[in-house]
Amino acid sequence: MIHAVLICKTPFLELGGVVVEGPTVNTSGVARLSKFYTPLHQSAQTLIPKIFSLVCSRPASLCNFLDAPELEAFLGPKGDEDERWRIVYRSYATLYFVFVVDGAESELGILDLIQVFVESLDRAFENVCELDLVFQFDEVHHVLAELIQGGLVLETNVDEIGNSVQLASKLRKESFTAANPLSLGTGVGGAGSRGSNLKSPLGWLTGKITGGRAM
Amino acid sequence: MWERTLQDLIRGLRANKKDESQFIAKAVDEIRKEIKGDDMELKAGAVLKLTYLDMLGYDMKWASFHVVEVMSSPRFHLKSVGYLAAVQSFDQETDVLMLTTNLLKKDLTSTPADISVTLNGLSHIVTPDLGRDLSSELMTMLTHSRAHIRKRAILALYKVMDTYPEALAPGVARLREKLDDPDPGVVASTVNVLCELARKRPEDYLILAPQLFHLLQTSSNNWMLIKIIKLFGSLSPHEPRLVKKLQPPITELISTTPAISLLYECVHTCIIGGMLQGSSGDSLARLCVSKLAAFIQDTDQNLKYIALLALVKIVPTHPHLVAEYQDTILASVNDHDMSIRMRALDLVSAMVTSHNIQSIVQQILSHLVADSSTTALPTAAQSLAQQANSPTISTPHISPTQSPAYRLVLSQRILHICSQSLYENITNFEWYLSVLVDLAHIANVDVGAQIRDQLVDVVGRVKGVRRYAVKLMYTLLCDDTILHNAREEGSCSEVLWAAAWICGEYCSELAEPQKLLPYLLQSQIAILHPEIIAVYIQTISKIFGSWAAEVAERWDDEDMVEVKSTVDLIINGIKVFTGNADVEVQERAANTLQLFNFIQADLNGYKPLPPNNPFAEASSSFDPVGSAEPRFPKSLYLIQPLHSAYELNPVALLAQASVPVPEGLDLDVWFVAPPPEPAAKPELKTPKSSKGKGKEVNGSKSKSKKKQKESDANGVVVLTPVVDEEPEDHEARERRLAERRERLRDDPYYIIDDRSASTSRQATHDDIDSIPVVHLDDMPSMSSIDDSHLPTLRAEAVPSHHVAYTIDRDGEMPAGAVSPQPTSTREGSHTSTRATTPALTGSSTPSYVSSFPQYDVPDADVRTSTPEPIKVTRTKKKTKKRTQDSSALVESTS
């Protein structure tokens, strides 16, 4: 089964032309999404930053499976090849999509699944960019929930996933407008976030600029 | 409108990178206010913000009740926020989960959208209780009209069955029906769930094989086919007929499918499903390996990686097929991708045979050499420089061979490859020893202890290599590179332990052992670890003992100068360590120093005999004891018998267990019946009883102690003979007891029990006074008087020597070891029979008795002319525990 899905941002590209500010800058990659399907042990808490830093330091030409001596201790008993965790990742522009799976999943299959996930995100956000994931992390979770449930793959067909995501998001919007008849999309509470789709092109453009500066 | 939305929060976070914690503290304060209000929208917004902060690592457990509140909102957009927060933050221990049962039940009968959100949530938060209460609802969901809901229900059912096993049986029956569902997505989900279940208990799902087989032949959904193939991989080892049935369709899939992921899974399943056995399997194996070999040579690194992964599994059964691609595989060890290197290393170690071990190990060693020993000697400054230089190497990233974790893996891999199955693959042990020494020099990571253990183990097991080993270790001790770097990380200074020990134990191989003494006595050794210094001191005394005995044998008065200077050298060198901070070093140094002081005094008092006495010469060379006065200083024979009486031997794994229990020793009987009054402190019992009746060594001690605690007082008093307990133990125990008494006196909680405690304390006093002190004072006479008890007394120690000796006489190694001696196999079998049938040897007293004289024989054997002062006492030298092998070396000296 799938134990965790993580999305992290590579620390290097973010720095673009911006000056690095002191030693507090996180070099291990910034989490954009983390979802765990099995309870974490203490060791796994330290595993995540380690994975991020290792993944981020791998050049694109290397394989998509993370297997480093530093992780030996975390991945489970050595002899039990099937129960050991495997880390499959794929990078898209500035983002790394990392899946932690065990022997029940096909390694190459997971690579395809990551592709399916990204395509679904692309449909849901209409040309997904990183800031969509930053500002609408709940929406990302909803998309992921149409793909994987409880660590098992629910659906792999991009069209099916797209339909379900659309349907659910339409229902949420309707429910929101029913509750806030005067709202123009930005909710009173944070819960109205999905309404922010309305301000789309300009919205994420400004977000992008401010975001870029903020980094 | 002053409340922040999630977007505001995120924007704020990005704008306040510098004082993030301050910003978050403020935001959380706002959230606390919002979450307590009545406005559901606001509450949900607060929960959503918390969920985001939770992802960043800020705890939101405190808000779990509010999460449930939001979950229970009838509005879908709020409900989904609630469920999202629950999924992200709840775990098995979340107490509010108890409150959700009815909520979940209600939501499962609501609109399809609600159901789907609920099922998704349930898959994450399910507890055994929720599973029990909701499993019937879930079962009905399996027949929901919407395929989407059915899929979700199936996956949720898996999680319920996982946490609440009672749901398993009915659940699996329903899943079986779902394999025939009209919707392919539902079938795929079902297969997915079955695949997970079958990994745990494959035999329970064999019954589904026909249906799955049908799906395998009819489906074209690669996702599902991969899962089915995986599922068969779990099933087929449990059903041989399945193997035969699966071979044709899988072979066809392998040859026809364009999907590499499916192809790979087929190959993988063939390997792990045991389909490569037999005549038909052989051609399939050839096909699989050829496909995998094509993967390895592919430019796609991913294919390379998984091919290595699969080849590791095929090596045990078809090594010859994989061997054809050895060069390609070895090249992969040099791949610039760490993931591929790791898998290639796995594969390479699986491929090792006695023919290729040298080249493989050499290659792995060369990885370690590449940038540590050639570009930088392992000194602090240079390794710093090395680190500074590394980025200039064309690759922008740190070269993988510099990562300590990787170096450690490589070093351990070398040790593992060579030592597996008791050096099965090693034909040339001299080569192996030199590899170990090389490794110690270049590893630059902390594997010294493992190398040390290997060195000692090899030398102990393989007699033929000792001469070479001593030579090698001699040079290691003379070479001060390791000594200089001993304080540094990864210096592997532990090999000096092995070097010193080997040189000391087998110094008879050295022509001029005394030449080594200055190296062992140089002042720099003070920086070594105390454990190593202790061995150095021991080695000094061993070497001198052996050399002095040799000198005495061919005594010439001219030797006196050299002997005296050597003794002076040793005394001066060792004196330093009598003040060492480490107790072990200090004690050994003090002991050794006293011995050498004695020798020095003897040498100073020595007067050469007149040379014209022909009898003296003759008698000294034959029987020094018989002669009235030997020609050489008697003290030259002081040390040697302390060390060399016995040779070290590997002891069989079960040797200790097969030590016979002496007749008359009942381990289940109290040494001293526990005091009848229940008021006595249980803590007081243990020291008292062990004090009174001495201690038992090894297993019997702990067993009897356990027994003491477990069983009730049975009132039977059986006095077992007093075992010679070491004075330190005795004193320590007495001191501990006194301390405890002192504590109890001061402890206000013991006031109430004072009277009864004092009576029992009184009893303790009596015991101390009456029994052990007397026995200790009287020790020598005791042993001579209690002759009948003597066997019991040494029971723990003696038989173990006995077993070790048996092994030694027949040959050096127990079963399975590679040995230059042809007798070793016979020996091994002998040992194992002995070990496996302890009762046989155990019950026979004669065998035990026979061992006893053996033990004392060396006393007579020693050619000592001064029997009285050289009272030989049994000392237990520190022996390293070596767990990695099936046996350990046990050393005894007398």
Residues of B in contact with A81 (CB under 8 A): 313
First and final C-alpha spacing in chain B: 91
Q: What does the pLDDT read at residue B850?
A: 37
pLDDT in tens, A61-85: 888 888 877 777 777 666 566 677 8
Give the Cα-Cα-Cα angle B562, B566, B570 (nearest 5 degrees). 175
CB contact residues (below 8 A), chain A span 54-83, against chain B: 57-59, 61-70, 72, 81-82
Give domain A2-214's CATH number out of 3.40.640.10, 3.10.450.50, 3.30.450.60, 3.10.180.10: 3.30.450.60
Q: What does the pLDDT read at residue B187?
A: 93
Q: What does the pLDDT read at residue B750?
A: 59
Q: How many CB pairs lie under 8 A apart between chains A and B?
A: 229
Mutate to test the interface with B, among A138, A147, A166 (most CBs of B within 10 A): A138
Q: What does the pLDDT read at residue B61?
A: 86
Q: What does the pLDDT read at residue B636?
A: 84
Write the CATH number of the domain with boundaries B90-178.
Answer: 1.25.10
A191:B84 CB<8 A: no
Q: What does the pLDDT read at residue B609?
A: 67
Q: What does the pLDDT read at residue B284?
A: 87
Q: Which two tokens stand for residue B324?
A: 């054809």
| Radius of gyration, alpha carbons of chain A | 18
| Bridging pattern class, strands A86-92 and A30-36 | unpaired
How many CB atoms lie under 10 A from the CB of residue B165? 12
Confidence category of residue A183, pLDDT binned at 50, 70, 90: low
B305:A63 CB<8 A: yes
- Per the document, the length of chain B is 894
Residues of B in contact with A210 (CB under 8 A): 11, 14-15
Element of type H or E holding B8: helix B6-15
Nearest chain A alpha carbon to B401? A69
Q: What does the pLDDT read at residue B258?
A: 86
Partnered with residue A6 across adjacent β-strands are: A34, A98
CA distance A51 to A53: 6
DSSP B578: G
B339:A68 CB<8 A: yes
Residues of B in contact with A152 (CB under 8 A): 155, 158, 189, 192-193, 196
Own/partner contacts of B682-685, CB < 8 Å, gap of 24 or more, are B683/B740, B684/B740, B684/B757, B684/B760, B684/B761, B684/B764
B48:A193 CB<8 A: yes
| Nearest CB to A171 within list B15, B48, B113 | B113
Residue B487: helix, strand or coil by DSSP? coil
Mutate to test the interface with B, among A30, A131, A152 (most CBs of B within 10 A): A152
Query: Is a pLDDT exceeding 70 seen at residue A2?
Result: yes
| Nearest CB to A214 within list B6, B17, B261 | B17
- Distances in Å between the Cα of B792 and the Cα atoms of A119, B739, B786, B795 are 79, 32, 10, 5
A67:B151 CB<8 A: no
Handedness of CA B350, B355, B360, B365 (dihedral sign): positive
Give residue for tokens 């001596």.
A69
Residues of A in contact with B124 (CB under 8 A): 37, 150
| Nearest CB to A189 within list B5, B92, B120 | B5
Q: What does the pLDDT read at residue B19?
A: 82
Nearest to B66 by CA among B40, B29, B87, B103: B40
Mutate to test the interface with B, among A48, A106, A198, A213 (most CBs of B within 10 A): A106
Regions of chain B where pLDDT drops below 50: 1, 372-398, 614, 616-627, 680-725, 752-894
Beta strands in B184-321 (DSSP E): none
**H helix intervals, B373-480:** 380-389, 404-423, 429-442, 448-461, 466-478
| Nearest CB to A152 within list B17, B52, B196 | B196
| Nearest CB to A67 within list B34, B117, B342 | B342
pLDDT in tens, A109-157: 999 999 999 999 999 888 888 888 888 888 999 999 999 999 999 998 9
- Distances in Å between the Cα of B645 and the Cα atoms of B301, B854, B891 are 61, 11, 10
> What's the gap in Å between the CA of B889 and the closest CA on chain A?
28
Please report, for chain A, the start and end positions of each structural domain, with discontinuous segments joined by +: 2-214
Contact B253, B294 (CB under 8 A): no
Nearest to A32 by CA among A158, A109, A117: A117
Does A163 reach chain B within 8 Å, measured CB to CB? no
Q: Which two tokens stand for residue B601?
A: 């005094």
Mutate to test the interface with A, among B77, B119, B272 (most CBs of A within 10 A): B77
Element of type H or E holding B651: strand B649-651
> What's the gap in Å between the CA of B104 and the closest CA on chain A?
16
Chain centroid to Cα B187, Å, comes to 45
Own/partner contacts of B813-817, CB < 8 Å, gap of 24 or more, are B813/B422, B813/B461, B813/B462, B813/B650, B814/B650, B814/B651, B814/B652, B814/B653, B814/B886, B814/B887, B815/B652, B816/B421, B816/B422, B816/B424, B816/B886, B817/B422, B817/B423, B817/B461, B817/B650
| Nearest CB to B406 within list A69, A178, A188 | A69
SS3 of chain A: the string is CEEEEEEEECHHHHCCCCCCCCCCCCCCCEEEEEEECCCCCHHHHHHHHHHHHHHHCCCCCCCCEECCHHHCCCCCCCCCCCCCCEEEEEEECCEEEEEEECCCCCHHHHHHHHHHHHHHHHHHHCCCCHHHHHHCHHHHHHHHHHHEECCEECCCCHHHHHHHHHHHHHHHHHHHHHHCCCCCCCCCCHHHHHHHHHHHHHHHHHHHHHHHHHC
Q: Which two tokens stand for residue B532?
A: 């190593």
| Nearest CB to A193 within list B5, B56, B226 | B5
Nearest to B183 by CA among B205, B217, B153, B139: B153
B230:A104 CB<8 A: yes
| Bridging pattern class, strands A152-153 and A148-149 | antiparallel
> What's the gap in Å between the CA of B654 and the closest CA on chain A?
25
Give residue for tokens 């949720």.
B156
Contact B64, B94 (CB under 8 A): yes
Mean pLDDT, rounded, of chain A = 74
Amino acid at B640: Q
A104:B195 CB<8 A: yes
B343:A67 CB<8 A: yes
Residue B657: helix, strand or coil by DSSP? coil
pLDDT in tens, B569-603: 999 999 889 888 899 999 999 999 999 999 999 88
- Distances in Å between the Cα of A172 and the Cα atoms of A139, A144, B120, B357 are 11, 16, 16, 65
Contact B42, B3 (CB under 8 A): yes
CA distance B603 to B597: 10
Partnered with residue A2 across adjacent β-strands are: A101
Residues of A in contact with B78 (CB under 8 A): 175, 179, 191
Residues of A in contact with B118 (CB under 8 A): none
A67:B408 CB<8 A: no
Please report, for chain B, the start and end positions of each structural domain, with discontinuous segments joined by +: 1-89, 90-178, 513-643, 682-793, 798-861+864-890
| Nearest CB to A109 within list B151, B185, B223 | B223
CA distance B271 to B555: 71
| Nearest CB to A70 within list B3, B49, B405 | B405
Give residue for tokens 């690194």.
B301
Mutate to test the interface with A, among B5, B111, B148 (most CBs of A within 10 A): B5
Exposed, middle or buried, B835 (CB in 10 Å: 0-12/13-18/19+)? buried
